Structure 1
Amino acid sequence: MSQHLSYTTEEIAQLLKISKLTVYDLIKKGELLSYRVGKQMRIDASDLDAYKQRSKARSAGQEAYAASAAASIVAHGTGTAPVLTGQDISLDMLASHLERRMPGLRPLRSHTGSLDSLISMYKGEADIVSTHLLDGDSGEYNIPYIRRLLIGMPYMVVNLLSRPAGLYVAKGNPHRLAGWPDLSRPGLRLANREVGSGARVLLDEQLRLNGIAPGSIAGYDSIHTSHISVASKVASGEADAGVGTARAASIVEQVDFIPLTQERYDLVILKNGRSKPWLNELLAILRSDEFRQELQSVSGYDLSLTGQVLYETP
């Protein structure tokens, strides 16, 4: 392979059999080196080869770790550590409480978006999934998606919290944005989230309900993998608006937050042999005063439904 050969992002997506958005995510995370020629991103063949070699080494390391963990479980007779997905700080609090309550059981955290988390659960790769997915037609959060994706699986849906979601705008709201229809304004620049995230689903559902074509919004394909990253793009002036939750706006300076909806943030928990050792303890934590008091320290959380089972299969 010539050292001068390079590829476009579309060609990389075809070679690796992944989506173009995933290629951009790899570039954003610094895992795949790139450079810009005019308006086009290019990746050298040598950098593609380096990425492949790192991925192979990482996969080999993960397989070795999994084998070691499995051997440890057999040797010590302990249950398998649950995989807990999602990005909100409340999940780190929950994992900490579970570890303290059951010494030796350390939950594994995966910062995966809501829709991808449910798919991971369906594939047997996650035990506790956090999700905040709006079904625009019914106005219901989460359960319509869960029922469609987890067909035939035993699970329960338990509320973790509710929180405001809406638009990030520059300090003082110079464009006077007040609602979802304002995203159709000509020239408005958006900082977007990745496909599969709750914020992306919220945006796409609101665009659909308001008859706004995604391709008409500048920056719709500008992908960022966290609320803070989106808010930072707005703060820096690289975007005029972004979708997310109030907490990131409280962290990032020069950003205001316009609340437009109250989203329900639920946990989906599989009911099987893997969850049996810790399921009751997890529910006890969610309903405990100690955990609720810790959640109350975070501004904007509504805990009126915390710990309630909202849906359960037989």
Structure 2
Amino acid sequence: MTGEETIVPEDTSLTPEEVAERLRIKKNTVYEMIKRGDLPAYRVGRKLRVLSDAVDTYVRQGQSPESPGNATVATAPLPPAASGANPFPATATPAPGASARAPLPTPFDPWAAPLPGMVLCGQDPLLDILANQMERHPRGTAILRSHVGSFNGLLSLYQGTAHIASAHLWDSDSGQYNIPYIRRLIPGIPTVLIGLVRRMQGFYVAQGNPKNIADWHAFSRSDIRYINRERGCGTRVLLDEKLRQLGIDSQQIAGYRKEVFSHLSVASAIARDEADYGLGTERAARQVSQVDFVPLQKEEYHLVVKKEDFVKPLFQSLLEIIRSAEFRAELRGMGGYDLDGLGEIVAEI
């Protein structure tokens, strides 16, 4: 070969998955380390990269990834966040004899728009509308939807695997929605409760209600078949709390163990005569033919956010959307929602 061969330096950056494998920890823990500033990272398009030298330094210092630390892990001092300086300047000049490499973007800020997005837990269709509007907002971001029930949503918020959880958990002792559960499931972490809508919960029954199913005492009857929701969702919690109040043994209810994972699935089962009644929201009953709705209890549907996150720009953009005329108009068009209190701060817990 004639002339000098150009040697391209090996890429010494790692993906979060590769960092997790090297440190033998979970990928979510790597993201927490980046968020805390324990590992400097930068963003290339939609992907995160971590300098290999920074990981090696982290290992040499022997710090546990599970807890915040005070060690400096960057190979060069990082400027204060408020200064706006870039520790990876795009115009850096390569050393003599080295080939030029692609400029590195600014360090990754887990809460800065527009990436990597926010994880929102919940099942109601209004959350899809909220997610779509958040993605179109000039200061918004992508919303990643986690279709889990209220109980698991609050646990995800506590464990740091979600940013926002929706909830409609009724406590029979206090008559309150959500607040008692937040105190139990997110202990010691200040949270903010944001009002969304009020929804009517009731029974789905066959058209004309031939079995004459009228109130909660239907669960004491042996001549009708029930279809249940999954454990942890707000509708299931409402049912079990009501049964406790009435002193009804759930094991005596025909169909109690048969579970489905949405209001529409419950209503559809009634329409197909696979069950005589099931519990769900009024709006879903309107979407299935040959099903009537027996109203029982109006419930409160809230969003739950950690207080430390609530003050950040992305969450303020989310609140702006919830309080907007456009969002209210879309929910009104869907029907089945009481919008009184939409966007209000219900409580700080």
Q: Shift of the alpha carbon at 1:204?
A: 0.6
Of 206, 209, 234, the residue aligned with 1:173 is 209
Asked if the contact 2:226/2:255 (under 8 Å) is kept, the reply is yes
User: Which TM-score applies when normalising by structure 1?
Assistant: 0.75
Partner of 1:301: 337
Of 234, 240, 258, the residue aligned with 1:204 is 240
Of 220, 231, 247, the residue aligned with 2:267 is 231
Say yes or no: does 1:158 pair with 2:158: no
Asked if the contact 1:161/1:265 (under 8 Å) is kept, the reply is yes
Of 238, 250, 255, the residue aligned with 1:219 is 255
Structure with bigger gyration radius: 2
Residues 95-131 of structure 1 deviation map (CA, whole Å, 9 limit, x = unaligned):
1111111467101001000001101111111111000
> Which aligned pairs between 1:29-44 and structure 2 lie closer than 5 A?
none
Partner of 2:19: none
Asked if the contact 2:120/2:146 (under 8 Å) is kept, the reply is yes
Asked if the contact 1:84/1:110 (under 8 Å) is kept, the reply is yes
Of 120, 143, 163, the residue aligned with 2:179 is 143
Identity %: 48
Matched AA of 2:158? Y
Say yes or no: does 1:268 pair with 2:245: no
Matched AA of 1:213? D
Structure 1 counterpart SS, 2:236:
helix
Alpha carbons of structure 1 residues 128 and 275: separation in structure 2 relative to 1, 3 Å: farther
Of 19, 41, 48, the residue aligned with 1:71 is 48
CA distance, structure 1, for counterparts of residue 128 and residue 199 of structure 2: 17
Partner of 2:148: 112
Matched AA of 2:279? V
CA distance, structure 2, for counterparts of residue 75 and residue 237 of structure 1: 59
CA distance, structure 2, for counterparts of residue 290 and residue 274 of structure 1: 22
Matched AA of 1:235? A
CA distance, structure 2, for counterparts of residue 116 and residue 177 of structure 1: 31
Q: Which moved more, 1:276-285 or 1:230-239?
A: 276-285
User: Which TM-score applies when normalising by structure 2?
Assistant: 0.68
Higher normalized helix content (fraction of residues): 1
* Greater relative contact order, per chain length (Cα 8 Å cut-off, separation 6+): 1
Gaps of 5+ in 1: 1-61
Partner of 2:57: none
Q: Shift of the alpha carbon at 1:237?
A: 0.6
CA distance, structure 2, for counterparts of residue 254 and residue 140 of structure 1: 33
CA distance, structure 2, for counterparts of residue 178 and residue 161 of structure 1: 25
Structure 2 counterpart SS, 1:144:
helix
CA distance, structure 2, for counterparts of residue 85 and residue 275 of structure 1: 20
Gaps of 5+ in 2: 1-25, 32-42, 51-103
CA distance, structure 1, for counterparts of residue 348 and residue 47 of structure 2: 30
Matched AA of 2:190? P
> Which aligned pairs between 1:44-55 and structure 2 lie closer than 5 A?
none
Q: Shift of the alpha carbon at 1:259?
A: 0.8
Q: Shift of the alpha carbon at 1:253?
A: 1.2
Partner of 1:93: 129
CA distance, structure 2, for counterparts of residue 287 and residue 255 of structure 1: 33
CA distance, structure 2, for counterparts of residue 237 and residue 113 of structure 1: 26
Residues 207-266 of structure 1 deviation map (CA, whole Å, 9 limit, x = unaligned):
111111100011100010011111111111110110100111111111111110100000
CA distance, structure 2, for counterparts of residue 289 and residue 72 of structure 1: 40
CA distance, structure 2, for counterparts of residue 110 and residue 148 of structure 1: 21
Q: Shift of the alpha carbon at 1:307?
A: 0.6
Partner of 2:280: 244
Partner of 1:126: 162
CA distance, structure 1, for counterparts of residue 151 and residue 252 of structure 2: 25
Asked if the contact 2:166/2:302 (under 8 Å) is kept, the reply is yes
Asked if the contact 1:127/1:275 (under 8 Å) is kept, the reply is no
User: How many residues in Structure 1 have an aligned counterpart in Structure 2?
Assistant: 251
Q: Shift of the alpha carbon at 1:273?
A: 5.3
Asked if the contact 1:166/1:259 (under 8 Å) is kept, the reply is yes
